[in-house]
Amino acid sequence: MDSEIQFNELLQFFKAMADGNRLKIVGLLSQKPHTVEQLSILLGLGMSTTSHHLSNLAKAGLVEARTDGHYYLYSLRQDTLQEMSQRLLKQDTLPKLAVAVDEQAYDRKVLKTFTDEEGRIIAFPSQLKKYQVLLRYVVKAFEPGIHYPEKQVNDILSRFHDDTADLRRGLVEFKLMAREGGGGAYWRLED
């Protein structure tokens, strides 16, 4: 299924279910069919409000109506509810919902806030998550597979900030780089 269609269907499903009164209607209809008037009385809502909730549930394909004399009798389409929840909430479906999201937007915002025009770090953030963004930015200056002596690591890191020791520790601590003991070589770990 096309991910945009799936996204819109899931959005409509959640919109339909994202109301306490609609959830109560689903609960009542799961027991037996009801008319608008019966639901209205049971929920303490006006008939037009109840009809509006039923309309939202019907648009999502969760409720159907059939005539019973002069009234519409509403029932829950339990098979549709189960099929939709199983299909739309599958583990491999949910990650596809974020396809159109710019996952780098947060990193760009942090870098804009904590670096100057030349790309130097102007301050270290107090939040760990933002600090890790800076470390991921800095580690790109190192080529994977190359072992760097500590002096060369310091030279590279000094392009970003004068506190090279803090950057070195952070890169190793957050497993972006590894090092040999006793002042040995540093190398970038694979992403």
In the chain, the domains with their CATH numbers are 3-98 (1.10.10.10), 105-188 (no CATH)
Q: What mean pLDDT value characterizes the chain?
A: 88
Would the pTM count as exceeding 0.75?
A: no
Q: What is the pLDDT of residue 161?
A: 95
Q: What is the pLDDT of residues 84-129, one digit of tens each?
A: 777 767 666 666 655 555 668 888 999 999 999 999 999 999 999 9
Q: What is the pLDDT of residue 135?
A: 96
Please say if the pLDDT value at position 28 is more than 90.
yes
- Say how far apart CA 139 and CA 122 lie, in whole Å: 17
Please say if the pLDDT value at position 172 is more than 70.
yes
When pLDDT is averaged across residues 49-74 and rounded to a whole number, the result is 91
- Say how far apart CA 121 and CA 161 lie, in whole Å: 6
26 or 9, which is more confident: 26
Q: What is the pLDDT of residues 137-148, one digit of tens each?
A: 999 999 998 999
| 134 close to 174: Cβ distance less than 8 angstroms | no
Please say if the pLDDT value at position 177 is more than 70.
yes
- Tally of CB atoms within 10 A around 171: 23
Structural element, H or E, at residue 67: strand 63-68
Q: What is the pLDDT of residue 149?
A: 93
Q: What is the pLDDT of residue 102?
A: 63
